[in-house]
Amino acid sequence: MKGAAKTRQSSPIKRGVLQFLLILYSAIVVYPMLWLLLASLKDSREIFEHPWSFPKALQWSNFTEAWVGAEIGKCFGNSVFVTALSMFFILFVGAMAAYALARFTFKGREAMSAVFLSGMMFPVFLGIVPLYILLANLGMLDNYYGLITVYVAYSLSFTIFVLTGFFKTLPHELAEAGMIDGCSSFTIFWRIMLPLAKPGLIAAGIFNFFGIWNEFPLALVIISKENLRTLPLGIQNLLMVEHYQANWGALFAGLVIVMLPTLIIYLLFQRQITEGLTAGALKG
Amino acid sequence: MSSAAKRDKIKTLILFLSPAAVLYSVFFLFPMAQAFYIALFRWSGMSPNREFIGFANFKKLLGFEMSGGATVPTDPMFWKALLHNFEFMIISLVVVIPLALFIGSVLSRKVWGSGTYRALYLFPNMISVVAVAVLWSFVYHPQFGVLNVLVEGVGLKPPLNGWLGEPKTALFCMIATSIWYGLGFYIVLLLAGIQSIPSSYYEAASIDGAGSWQQFKNITIPLVWDILKLAIVYLIINTINIFGLVYVMTDAHPTEHTHTLLTYLYQKAFSESDFGYATAIGVMVFVLIFSISLVSLRLMKREAVEM
């Protein structure tokens, strides 16, 4: 790979042009977000009159207004709760199933793996009406547990797929040693295998985090109570409200609040994210 | 294996597999399967009364009728929504795939800061679609949007009702936003493919005097073909599944100029409580995704190149 880079040196002019194009596209990517950051620190009049300038005085009050007044703080808490609980159950339930599918031979194993895998084929909205009715009948509409259950069910295909691949690569000797020591199969899974599968759990966890933290259509269908709104619902609602109230500063501050955790997680796990994406692509 | 050991194994399997199997069947597979059945009913709202009407929902979706001497679709909105999805798909394919290939191959070379660029380009794809949609409705804002400033800067007149309020521009603005959102993903995907090509191929080509374009055409393209196929199919699926972006950028009220299949489905199901009909749209979306993916994979079939 390094050899390729060395021999593919091009002329300085060409390199300059390419560098310019890369910077141009970077500007297109960064510009709206930078504008947002500046706008979140201006008052509404300043946004109107000087949309391009730096804020004259930093309006931190936008953030308190968004957090408290527009209830983005409440939505933030809801999103943290829903995402954390969903991820816990997705990884726990998914890892158990993936472990069984990867480490045991039994009749119907291939078929079962295929059924789990097939879930990645269906568009989210295909079953939305039956799901809505099912949740209504179970009294799970408009509450956290309905939303979390649906998130877990919808994420299992992908999670089991990733984790099965992982468990298959683990050495057999450790589990056998555990068996000889008289550990129960659950203890072997929990104490020995799960810690070994940590990189896989992290990879699956990251992608599920982004999937659920950002999830919109299912939340829109399942949640209608104001105090249960997750962040995407809260922001969408805030946009509609501000069309009339025009308190833009608070809306922009709200947007910054939504994007901040994404940015932090992205920066922390950037390597795993790119590797995960590319590994999936190269295998598939 | 002794029968006791066998019983143990079965118990273990049930313990490990049943939570996932139950959750997945009840809350995922069962509703998906049920959709094919519910699409055959006329069923409004949560009322227990539903009427079996066979394929009537599909006939209405896909059918034509005579009206005032002309043949018109029985559900014009469905066709408009479908057309909008096709516009999303075609424009995305034409813009995203060449750009991603180009940027991907530039980044695969020894360019200054290529890792940083890659990380930067991927970031929009990690943000919530809702946040992206809200952010971009301000890029297009009639009073303080950047686009107005740019357009006025070159002496043109921006639309009076704003870019998203104007029927002619609204859809294209949303397509541009979806490209901004998604491009990084395809860059990273194709970049990975290009980086897996052995460097000796390019070295040999250079020695033979092949220029960049020839190397790109004769080495890069054939050797990333499989990933390119994957990227194209992903893009097709994503443009048919488009929902949040349109829903948010139209303030939850898409019009005949902006509806896509899924916003139309959502409206039928949850604003008009037309459950059977909405589900029929869902089935059509499924069939569409399935068939377009298969057809495009078939069209792109090409002898595998051994590395």
How many other β-carbons are positioned within 10 Å of the β-carbon of residue B51? Answer: 11
Give A284 or A226, the one with higher predicted confidence. Answer: A226
Q: Does residue B108 belong to the interface with chain A, where contact is any CB pair within 8 Å?
A: yes
Taking contacts as CB-CB distances below 8 angstroms, the residues of chain A near B110 are: 5-6, 8-9
- Whether B43 is covered by a domain: the verdict is yes
Nearest to B283 by CA among B53, B34, B14, B10: B34
- Whether A12 is covered by a domain: the verdict is no
* Per-residue confidence (pLDDT) for residue A54, from 0 to 100: 79
| Whether residue B117 is found in the same domain as residue B24 | no
| Whether residue B59 is found in the same domain as residue B97 | no
* Residues B214-221: contacts with CB under 8 Å, at least 24 apart: B216/B105, B220/B101, B220/B105, B220/B194, B221/B101
Structural domain span for residue B237: 73-299
Give the contacts of A75 (CB within 8 A, at least 6 positions apart): A229, A230, A231, A233, A234, A235
Helices in chain B by DSSP H: which ranges? 3-24, 30-38, 56-62, 76-108, 114-122, 129-139, 146-153, 167-195, 199-207, 212-215, 221-240, 244-249, 261-266, 275-299
Residue B181 has pLDDT above 70, yes or no: yes
Distance from CA of B214 to the nearest CA of A (A): 13
State percent of chain B over pLDDT 70.
98
Distance from CA of B121 to the nearest CA of A (A): 7
B17:A266 CB<8 A: no
- Whether B194 is covered by a domain: the verdict is yes
State the average pLDDT over residues A81-108.
Answer: 95
| Whether residue B93 is found in the same domain as residue B26 | no
The answer to whether the beta carbons of residues B274 and B61 sit under 8 Å apart is no
B269:A129 CB<8 A: yes
* Per-residue confidence (pLDDT) for residue A283, from 0 to 100: 61
| Whether residue B217 is found in the same domain as residue B240 | yes
| Whether residue B84 is found in the same domain as residue B190 | yes
- Whether B291 is covered by a domain: the verdict is yes
Domain with residue A195: its CATH number is 1.10.3720.10
* Alpha-carbon torsion, ordered A168, A171, A172, A176, to 10 deg: -140
Q: Tokens representing B34?
A: 């049920």
Closest partner residue to B126 among A94, A232, A262, by Cβ? A262
Q: Which of B16, B32, B64 is the last residue of a domain?
A: B64
The DSSP secondary-structure symbol of B124 reads G
How many other β-carbons are positioned within 10 Å of the β-carbon of residue A271? Answer: 10
Mean pLDDT of chain A: 89
How many other β-carbons are positioned within 10 Å of the β-carbon of residue B3? Answer: 7
| Domain count for chain B | 2
Taking contacts as CB-CB distances below 8 angstroms, the residues of chain B near A28 are: 180
- Whether B104 is covered by a domain: the verdict is yes
pTM above 0.90, yes or no: yes
Q: Does residue B26 belong to the interface with chain A, where contact is any CB pair within 8 Å?
A: yes
* Per-residue confidence (pLDDT) for residue B49, from 0 to 100: 81
* Per-residue confidence (pLDDT) for residue B305, from 0 to 100: 63
Q: Does residue A101 belong to the interface with chain B, where contact is any CB pair within 8 Å?
A: yes
- Beta-ladder partners of B70: B67
Q: Does residue A26 belong to the interface with chain B, where contact is any CB pair within 8 Å?
A: yes
| Domain count for chain A | 1
Dump pLDDT digits (tens) for B27-49. 999 999 999 999 999 988 777 78
- Whether B55 is covered by a domain: the verdict is yes
A125:B103 CB<8 A: no
Residue A205 has pLDDT above 80, yes or no: yes
State the average pLDDT over residues A15-32.
Answer: 93
Structural domain span for residue A111: 65-283
Domain with residue B289: its CATH number is 1.10.3720.10
Give B91 or B47, the one with higher predicted confidence. Answer: B91
- Whether B304 is covered by a domain: the verdict is no
| Chain A, chain B: beta-carbon pairs less than 8 Å apart | 285
Give B277 or A241, the one with higher predicted confidence. Answer: B277
Nearest to A235 by CA among B143, B261, B138: B138
| Whether residue B56 is found in the same domain as residue B97 | no
Mean pLDDT of chain B: 91
Instruction: Label residue A5 by pLDDT band (50, 70, 90).
Output: very low
Q: Does residue B243 belong to the interface with chain A, where contact is any CB pair within 8 Å?
A: yes
Q: Does residue B29 belong to the interface with chain A, where contact is any CB pair within 8 Å?
A: yes
Helices in chain A by DSSP H: which ranges? 2-7, 12-39, 44-49, 61-64, 72-103, 109-118, 128-137, 144-168, 173-180, 185-187, 194-196, 198-213, 217-222, 231-245, 248-268, 270-283
| Whether residue B102 is found in the same domain as residue B245 | yes
- Whether A27 is covered by a domain: the verdict is no
ipTM of this complex? 0.92
Q: Tokens representing A56?
A: 């004259």
Distance from CA of A214 to the nearest CA of B (A): 4
* Per-residue confidence (pLDDT) for residue A4, from 0 to 100: 45
Taking contacts as CB-CB distances below 8 angstroms, the residues of chain B near A136 are: 46
B111:A22 CB<8 A: yes
* Per-residue confidence (pLDDT) for residue A3, from 0 to 100: 42
* Ramachandran assignment for B209, one of left (phi > 0), alpha (psi -120 to 50 degrees), beta (any other): left
State the average pLDDT over residues B5-32.
Answer: 94
- Whether A113 is covered by a domain: the verdict is yes
- Whether A25 is covered by a domain: the verdict is no
Instruction: Label residue A246 by pLDDT band (50, 70, 90).
Output: confident
* Cα–Cα distance for residue pair B234/A212, rounded to 1 Å: 20
* Cα–Cα distance for residue pair A159/A94, rounded to 1 Å: 6
Residue A9 has pLDDT above 70, yes or no: no
* Per-residue confidence (pLDDT) for residue A6, from 0 to 100: 43
State the average pLDDT over residues B40-67.
Answer: 89
B135:A22 CB<8 A: no
| Whether residue B141 is found in the same domain as residue B211 | yes
Residue A2 has pLDDT above 50, yes or no: no
Instruction: Label residue A73 by pLDDT band (50, 70, 90).
Output: very high
Q: Dmax over Cα atoms in chain B, in whole Å?
A: 86
Distance from CA of A8 to the nearest CA of B (A): 7
Instruction: Label residue B259 by pLDDT band (50, 70, 90).
Output: very high
| Whether residue B138 is found in the same domain as residue B59 | no
- Whether A49 is covered by a domain: the verdict is no
Q: Most confidently modeled of A1-10, A235-244, B86-95, B192-201?
A: B86-95
* Alpha-carbon torsion, ordered B252, B253, B255, B258, to 10 deg: -10
- Whether B207 is covered by a domain: the verdict is yes
Nearest to B165 by CA among B245, B91, B260, B251: B251
Q: Which of B41, B64, B87 is the last residue of a domain?
A: B64
- Whether A178 is covered by a domain: the verdict is yes
Q: Does residue A251 belong to the interface with chain B, where contact is any CB pair within 8 Å?
A: yes
| Whether residue B112 is found in the same domain as residue B249 | yes
- Whether A22 is covered by a domain: the verdict is no
* Per-residue confidence (pLDDT) for residue B153, from 0 to 100: 84
Q: Which of B40, B64, B88 is the last residue of a domain?
A: B64
B189:A101 CB<8 A: no
Secondary structure class of B74 (helix, strand, coil): coil
Residue A10 has pLDDT above 60, yes or no: yes
Dump pLDDT digits (tens) for A151-185. 999 999 999 999 998 899 888 787 777 777 788 88
Taking contacts as CB-CB distances below 8 angstroms, the residues of chain A near B203 are: 3-4, 7
A266:B103 CB<8 A: no
B28:A52 CB<8 A: no
Lowest mean pLDDT among A28-32, A46-50, A60-64: A46-50
- Whether B307 is covered by a domain: the verdict is no
Residue B32's Cα: distance from chain center in Å?
A: 19
A125:B243 CB<8 A: yes
Residue A106 has pLDDT above 60, yes or no: yes
Distance from CA of B131 to the nearest CA of A (A): 6
Taking contacts as CB-CB distances below 8 angstroms, the residues of chain B near A130 are: 30-32, 34-35, 38, 279
- Whether A188 is covered by a domain: the verdict is yes
| Whether residue B126 is found in the same domain as residue B182 | yes
Nearest to A79 by CA among A213, A262, A259, A227: A213
A273:B31 CB<8 A: no
Taking contacts as CB-CB distances below 8 angstroms, the residues of chain B near A152 are: 23, 27
* Cα–Cα distance for residue pair A233/A216, rounded to 1 Å: 7
Q: Tokens representing B98?
A: 């060449």
* Cα–Cα distance for residue pair A8/A155, rounded to 1 Å: 42
Closest partner residue to A48 among B121, B144, B203, by Cβ? B144
State the average pLDDT over residues B43-60.
Answer: 88
Give the contacts of A239 (CB within 8 A, at least 6 positions apart): A251, B134, B137, B248, B251
B189:A236 CB<8 A: no
CB contacts under 8 A, B 162-201 vs A, are: 180, 184-185, 188-189, 191-193, 195-200
Taking contacts as CB-CB distances below 8 angstroms, the residues of chain A near B188 are: 274, 277-278
| Whether residue B34 is found in the same domain as residue B148 | no
